[in-house]
Every structure is written in structure tokens, then in C-alpha cells.
Structure 1
């Protein structure tokens, strides 16, 4: 993790390193099964932004062979989706020193404003490529400062006919971007890579970094 951070601070990130954990119990195979994506957080329900991300989740499930229902009432499977990003934390690091923040995935879950204990708290969130750091000339002795945002998504699937949960999982990441419009789609992509996966397995999956545009002088 420390090596990935240093690579990101040296220039621009090559990948977004995402941790994906999934659990399943008798998830129905995609044989005529229909689904509907709903907001796991009631405050997101009916929002235009949530609707945009829900379409991405629905698209991934459709690729896996499931069929989207017209309404949740008509669906066999209810997919509860949530996302979020915290306010970020500024870190200062001497060149060559390891930042303790970048320990093995910064603890069991996102704390304030993030994913923890199976749900998201605070406003919705998202994320981008590894450690886009910058050098602050106010510091000397090769000291760098950077802001780290933690973000993630949560997906839970309930089987209405069996009246029980059959799948749940999350994708988590840390980066210097807090742009939901870029982060959520990439976290969703990572989450559905190899879906549904092996129950209880945690994987590290990388996706492309956020692209930046360098503008020249106006003419």
C-alpha cells in the first residue's frame, strides 16, 4: 500500500486500487430472474443522482443475465444500493517515510461519513485514482501534503419469494478524488468484476484512473 501511494505522489496514478468483498447464500441463477434497484438509504430514494447510478448497477446485472423489472413490485430480486464519500483528510508526509494511514486497508471500514458496520452514514460519496499528491513549497525537507478521501458502494440483494437476503457486498477505495460522477461508476465496475464471486472472499481489483485535461493558453 505504501508503495502504491508513493507511485501516485510521484506523478499521476496508474490505477484505482479497490477492495471488493462479497457474500452470498443461494443467490438465484439468472434464469428468468427479474430485479429492481432501490435505495438502501431512504434519503437517496427518488433522487436524480441516485437514479443515474442505479442505471449503471442495473446495466451490470443485465450483463450477468438478469432482467430488470418494470417496478420493484414486479421483481423477484430487490437490489439495495448505497454509495458515499467522506470529507477527506489532509496528510503530511516526509519523502521516503511511510504514512501510517496506508496500513492494510485503513481498518475494518469507513468511519464518519463512510461505510461502517454494514451501512453508509452521511451524504452519498465516490472516488478516484491513487494519491494525486502535490508538493507544498511552504514545507521544506522534502515534505509533501495531500488529501485522502475514502469511498465505497454497498449492494444487498433480497429474494422476495424466499423472503431472505441472498447476497451482500461492498467495494471500498481511497484516493485524492471525491467526484461521485467518476468514482461511483468505477467502484460499480470493480464490484461486478467476477460477480458474484466466492462467498467471503476479498479481492483487490483495479480500474482506470481519473483522466485530467491540460488546457493551453487561450487564443
Structure 2
């Protein structure tokens, strides 16, 4: 006979499914710019991360995205691209998942006494109906949520005027910026340079990165 999953197992399965959704990177990107055409550029992280090897790897990713959009990296660049990033210490949030269990059916035992004109008698017996299953309650769990931020600025070197600034903010379960960096950079360069003053919300994951987009 096939064993039915235990209540604890069902709770574990439901909880694991809920936590699996936390790998999604939900980003909000806000852009302001007056870029009219692709330019030559140099790129550098801001202090105090300017010497960080991690930051330099992000510089390469950002540079590649600019090149894909028609820009050219140059030692005599017309523009200066700077960027910074951060991640907070996180905070706890509480959520719940349904608990599945048996809601009816199974084996029922009954007994009693029957009285009549000729006296009385006792009876006992068991009956069986197929069990039914459904939601019998809820289980709560807590998890950490971290806020990650990426900021990029582009200035004209000759005039020192800013021609582009963008901020990407994402929230999720990862306490490492590196885990979500590529997806946040992909979100930043979705339809680059974008419409000035527009906020774009993008859902991303580690495989496809940009998978959904809404604008406001």
C-alpha cells in the first residue's frame, strides 16, 4: 500500500516552495538623462570601492553593456562613467504557507446500546470512507530581506555636466551583492538609455535575468 505523505512532510514541501520564490530579483530602475547619441567613455568605481577587485568586475559588465549599445571605450573618452553599489544589513519579514492534512474520511469506529420492548442489546463496528485532504491551517516562517542599490552616473569630461544618472534598487533574500549584480546591471540597461524620468520595474532571475517589465 502506498504511504500518504506525513503532515510534517507536506508542511516542509509547501515551505520550500514558498522560499524558492525568493531567488527572484525584483528591481526598480529610475533614469534621468539627456543623452542624444552614443559616446566614447572611460569607467571607474567611486571611492571607497575604487580599488576593489569586485567593483572592477562590475565595471567590466557595465562597460560591456555600453559597448552593446554603440558606445566605445577609449583612453581619450568624451564621457566619464562612474558607479557605486551598496547592500544593507537586512531585516526580518514574516510570511505564512498553508498546511495540508486530512480533512475527512478514513476508518470510523462506533458502538452503543439499543433498547427495545424485549430488552436491550449492544453493537459495535467499523466503517471506512476514502480520506480527503485539504488545507487545515497555516504555518508561519521568518526570512531575511536585503536591499541592494546600484547607481551609475555619466558626465561630459569637457563641460563637467552630467548627462545620465540611474539608480537600480532591488530587494531579496541574498545577502551578497555579487549574486544579483548581473541581473541588476541587465535591468539598468534594459532599453538604454530609456525615457528620462521613467521608472521601470523588472522581475529577474539568475538564469534569464530580465523576464518581465512594467513602466510608470
What TM-score range do you get, normalising by the shorter chain?
0.5 to 0.7
Tell me the TM-score normalised to structure 1 length.
Answer: 0.64
Contact 1:83–1:184, Cα closer than 8 Å, also in 2: no
Could you tell me which of 83, 86, 95 is aligned with 1:84?
Answer: 86
SS in 2 for 1:173: strand
TM-aligned CA distance change 1:76 to 1:28, over 3 Å: farther
Question: Cα 1:89–1:16, aligned 2, differ >3 Å: closer, same or farther?
Answer: same
Determine if contact 2:80/2:157 at 8 Å carries over to the other structure: yes
1:165 aligned onto 2:157: no
Q: 1:10 aligns with which of 3, 12, 18?
A: 18
Indicate if the aligned counterparts of 2:33 and 2:164 stay in contact, CA closer than 8 A.
yes
Segments of structure 2 that go 5 or more residues without pairing to the other structure are: 1-14, 99-136, 209-216
The two structures, once aligned, show a CA RMSD in angstroms of 2.6
- Per the TM alignment, residue 9 of structure 1 is displaced from its structure 2 partner at its CA by 6.5
* Change beyond 3 A, Cα 1:173–1:29: same
Q: Which residue of structure 1 lines up, in the alignment, with residue 132 of structure 2?
A: none
State the match for 1:20 in structure 2: 29
Question: 1:183: how far off?
Answer: 1.2
Task: Provide the secondary structure at the position in 2 that maps to 1:198.
Answer: coil
**Per-residue CA distance 1:164-209 (angstroms, 9 max, x = gap):** 0011011111000122222111100110011111110001112224
Residue-by-residue CA offset, 1:97-143 (whole Å, 9 max, x unaligned): xxxxxxxxxxxxxxxxxxxxxxxxxxxxxxxxxxxxxxxxxxx9622
Q: TM-score, normalised by structure 2?
A: 0.65
Partner of 1:38: 44
Pick closer, same or farther for the CA change 1:43–1:8 going to 2, 3 Å. Answer: farther
**Structure with more strand by fraction:** 2
